[in-house]
């Protein structure tokens, strides 16, 4: 195999996408929204998905000081989640909107990591109330920009999932939501492949 063929093969392999479920609240709809999103993306050979459910990640809220050593509990949690974030080519964050922002559990896992996010694209699936979680997404864009990640322009917004999401976890306006998901995934594909190739050619030094 010549180098050009090898490069094409590497570039064509499916994007590894970590889907981060941000809510840990009792009675949450985050897993139902995530399951709908994964079903919508199913069958696309361009992706492999790894669901990182923060309800299963017991990260402490107390971070060590600069240069400090994480607690044994943090080390155990990081051993489970950090390699999965590092291996991802791209991310999809599933988040509700709490008090015009996003959950503390989501900010916590973001703050425990740094290089894992760098030079990778992030897409969003948000839900909640009349705003559909869009205010949470707008704030997350600022956070991920600080971490040298690239957020894709289009997102998926489920407005009022308690009334707009059926008991089967499928949005009642399924055509609109499915179209939004396909559009977001198209942008995630472009950025994911471009940034993966760029990182392979020249490791990001941010």
Query: What pLDDT, on a 0 to 100 scale, did the predictor assign at position 149?
Result: 98
The CA R_g of the chain, rounded to the nearest whole Å, is 17
Boundaries of every domain in the chain: 15-24+32-200
pLDDT for res 189: 98
Q: Which CATH number fits domain 15-24+32-200: 3.30.1360.120, 1.10.420.10, 3.40.50.360, 3.40.50.2300?
A: 3.40.50.360
Report the chain (206 residues): mean pLDDT per 10 consecutive residues. Answer: 48 93 93 93 95 96 91 95 98 95 97 97 92 94 98 91 69 87 97 98 90
Phi-psi region of 119 (alpha: psi -120 to 50; beta: other; left: phi over 0): left
What is the pLDDT at residue 173? 82
**Entry pTM:** 0.92
């Amino acid at each position: 195999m010549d180098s050009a063929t090898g490069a094409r093969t590497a570039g064509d392999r499916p994007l590894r996408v970590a889907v981060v479920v941000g809510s840990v609240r009792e009675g949450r709809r985050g897993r139902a929204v995530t399951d709908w999103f994964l079903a919508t993306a199913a069958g696309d050979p361009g992706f492999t998905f790894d669901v990182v459910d923060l309800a299963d990640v017991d990260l402490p809220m107390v971070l060590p000081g600069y240069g400090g050593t994480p607690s044994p509990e943090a080390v155990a949690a990081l051993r489970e989640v950090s390699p999965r974030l590092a291996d991802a080519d791209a991310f999809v964050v599933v988040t509700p909107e709490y008090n015009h922002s996003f959950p503390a559990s989501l900010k916590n896992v973001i703050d425990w990591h740094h290089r894992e996010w760098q030079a990778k694209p992030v897409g969003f699936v948000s839900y909640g109330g009349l705003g559909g979680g869009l205010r949470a997404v707008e704030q997350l864009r600022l956070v991920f920009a600080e971490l040298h990640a690239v957020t894709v322009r289009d997102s998926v917004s489920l407005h009022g999932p308690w009334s707009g999401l059926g008991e089967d976890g499928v949005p009642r306006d399924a055509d609109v939501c499915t179209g939004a998901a396909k559009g977001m995934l198209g942008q995630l594909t472009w950025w994911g492949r471009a940034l993966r190739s760029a990182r392979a050619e020249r490791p990001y030094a941010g």
